[in-house]
């Protein structure tokens, strides 16, 4: 899409990687409306949502990302009104982000935003002649940039090995960074909801583990860390919220894959990696904004739903998570998933438990910036890794 206001010399477009926008129109002098990019999910999955959640669930269309240029010869103040879809509206609360040419992401200040819940967000910015900026619902990063960052880490530090576990439908790699094999294994994987950029936090963990401290050395001596900073690269590249580039929903395909019904290439790559690695635990990292006052949603599988031989380890992780995140006066949302219930098993969690032997945990952080997101992810990784080490030591002490 492209909109040019010839009167003011303003051009808005989405002709770049990771952009996401629908129809555009002029609302008034210097004010422009940006529709959301429509996204369809497969019929089988909509049928599942209708059956289990009365059609609700799985927020869609909560990615927005456009470029705005001032091609005139005077400075302009422009306002972009981003419309929300019914499904995605509750995941688009401020802050939103601004990126100037050759610069990093920064907040759009509260003074420059006007948010109307479930309807729209107005974002205003001053543009000098010839200036170009990008405005987005989150700090998006191109898939090839994420892969290059991971490769450079592995080249710089012997600690890390870089490899690719598969490719997307459009041929983009799915990268992973791994430390040396250990008996305990922890996977940290980006959500396949492509509108939630979490590569920042996951790669921050990779850098943190290179710091030669007693804490990191102790953890690295006992735990293999496997970091997967991007799992749906096509979805990110084409500006989708939950689907990949060919309309599949990778996050929700494990059940179909295991049951022989087929699934997205991204799902298949992750599933085979789980089966090969058999991590003791995994942390699925999310990042999006919700209503004011909501902090974090942190949880895991209900230990009672797991095979008997996994329950002690699961309880050790549950105890560590709840002691760190769910004590008064903290107001984090506590979630236990029971895959024995059909509405909890849409992610294939029962197969992850039973066949990969993995205890799935998740972090849904509400970052107020990239730096705080990085800190959030590191805190969760350290909490779960330390719990695994303590569980192993306790087990050895009982032997």
pLDDT of residue 282: 98
pLDDT of residue 367: 62
Q: How confident is the model over 245-272, as a mean pLDDT?
A: 94
Q: What is the spatial distance between Cα 237 and Cα 394, in angstroms, rounded to a whole number?
A: 45
Is the separation of the CB atoms in 154 and 207 below 8 Å? no
Q: How confident is the model over 289-315, as a mean pLDDT?
A: 86
The pLDDT-based confidence of 101 (bands split at 50, 70, 90) is confident
The pLDDT-based confidence of 330 (bands split at 50, 70, 90) is confident
Helix (H) or strand (E) holding 79: strand 76-83
pLDDT higher than threshold 70 for residue 238: yes
Q: How confident is the model over 68-94, as a mean pLDDT?
A: 94
Residue ranges and CATH numbers for the domains of the chain are 2-136 (2.60.40.3120), 143-398 (3.40.630.10)
Q: How confident is the model over 218-231, as a mean pLDDT?
A: 98
One DSSP character per residue, 163-191 reads EEEEE-TTS-EEEEEE----SEEEEEEE-
Q: What is the pTM of this model?
A: 0.95
Q: Looking up tokens 């779960």, which residue turns up? A: 384
Q: How confident is the model over 297-320, as a mean pLDDT?
A: 94
Q: What is the spatial distance between Cα 342 and Cα 305, in angstroms, rounded to a whole number?
A: 13
pLDDT of residue 83: 98
pLDDT higher than threshold 60 for residue 306: yes
Q: What is the spatial distance between Cα 346 and Cα 265, in angstroms, rounded to a whole number?
A: 18
The Cα-based distances of 65 to 27, 84, 194, 267 in angstroms read: 19, 13, 13, 25
Least confident of 53-57, 82-86, 265-269: 53-57
Q: Looking up tokens 């209708």, which residue turns up? A: 50
pLDDT higher than threshold 80 for residue 293: no
pLDDT of residue 372: 87
Mean pLDDT computed over every residue of the chain: 93
Using DSSP, state whether 271 is helix, strand or coil: helix
The pLDDT-based confidence of 2 (bands split at 50, 70, 90) is very high
Please give the angle made by the CA atoms of 60, 361 and 95, to the nearest 5 degrees: 45
pLDDT of residue 127: 97
Closest CA to 40 of 58, 53, 24, 54: 58
pLDDT higher than threshold 60 for residue 399: no
Tokens describing residue 386: 């330390």
110-140 confidence digits (pLDDT tens): 999 999 999 999 999 999 999 999 999 999 9
First to last CA, the chain: 65
Q: How confident is the model over 382-392, as a mean pLDDT?
A: 97
Is the separation of the CB atoms in 85 and 241 below 8 Å? no
134-192 confidence digits (pLDDT tens): 999 999 999 999 999 999 999 999 999 999 999 999 999 999 999 999 999 999 999 99
pLDDT of residue 376: 92
Calculate the dihedral angle through the C-alpha atoms of 319, 323, 325, 328, rounding to the nearest 10 degrees: 140
Is the separation of the CB atoms in 94 and 125 below 8 Å? no
Tokens describing residue 16: 């770049």
132-154: b (≥16 Cβ within 10 Å) or e: ebbbbbbbbbbbeebbebbeebb
Q: What is the spatial distance between Cα 280 and Cα 108, in angstroms, rounded to a whole number?
A: 40
pLDDT of residue 186: 98
Choose the most confident range, by mean pLDDT, from 247-261, 280-294, 332-346. 247-261
Is the separation of the CB atoms in 174 and 227 below 8 Å? no
31-75 confidence digits (pLDDT tens): 999 999 999 999 988 998 899 888 888 889 999 999 999 999 999
The pLDDT-based confidence of 1 (bands split at 50, 70, 90) is confident
Q: Going by DSSP bridges, is the β-strand pair 184-190/333-337 parallel, antiparallel, or unpaired? A: unpaired
pLDDT higher than threshold 90 for residue 21: yes
């Amino acid at each position: 899409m492209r909109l040019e206001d010839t009167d003011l010399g303003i051009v808005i477009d989405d002709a770049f990687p990771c952009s996401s926008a629908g129809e555009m129109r002029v609302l008034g002098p210097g004010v422009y409306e940006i529709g959301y990019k429509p996204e369809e999910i497969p019929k089988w999955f909509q049928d599942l949502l209708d059956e289990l959640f009365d059609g609700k669930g799985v927020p869609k269309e909560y990615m927005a990302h456009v470029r705005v240029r001032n091609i005139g010869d005077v400075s302009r103040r422009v306002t972009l009104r981003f419309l929300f879809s019914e499904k995605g509206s509750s995941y688009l609360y401020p802050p939103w982000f601004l990126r100037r040419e050759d610069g990093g992401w920064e907040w759009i200040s509260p003074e420059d935003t006007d948010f109307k819940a479930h309807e729209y967000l107005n974002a205003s910015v001053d543009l000098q002649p010839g200036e170009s900026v990008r405005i987005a619902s989150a700090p998006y990063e191109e898939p090839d940039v994420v892969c290059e960052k991971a490769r450079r880490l592995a080249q710089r530090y012997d600690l890390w090995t870089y490899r690719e576990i598969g490719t997307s439908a459009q041929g983009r790699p799915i990268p992973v960074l791994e430390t040396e094999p250990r008996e305990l294994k922890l996977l940290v994987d980006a959500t396949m909801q492509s509108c939630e950029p979490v590569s920042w936090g996951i790669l921050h963990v990779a850098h943190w583990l290179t710091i030669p401290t007693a804490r990191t050395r102790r953890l690295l001596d006992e735990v293999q860390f496997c970091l997967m900073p991007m799992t749906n690269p096509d979805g990110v590249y084409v500006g989708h919220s939950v689907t990949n580039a060919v309309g599949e929903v990778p996050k929700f395909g494990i059940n179909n894959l295991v049951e022989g019904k087929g699934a997205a290439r991204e799902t298949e790559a992750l599933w085979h990696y789980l089966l090969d690695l058999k991590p003791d635990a995994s942390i699925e990292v999310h990042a999006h904004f919700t209503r004011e006052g909501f902090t974090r949603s942190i949880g895991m599988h209900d230990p009672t739903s797991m095979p008997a031989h996994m329950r002690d380890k699961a309880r050790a992780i549950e105890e560590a998570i709840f002691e760190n995140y769910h004590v008064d006066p903290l107001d984090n949302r506590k979630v236990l998933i029971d895959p024995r219930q059909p509405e909890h098993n849409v992610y294939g969690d029962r197969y992850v438990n039973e066949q990969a032997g993995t205890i799935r945990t998740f972090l849904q952080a509400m970052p107020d910036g990239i730096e705080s997101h990085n800190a959030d992810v590191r805190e969760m990784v350290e909490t779960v890794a330390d719990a695994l080490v303590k569980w192993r030591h306790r087990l050895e002490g009982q032997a």
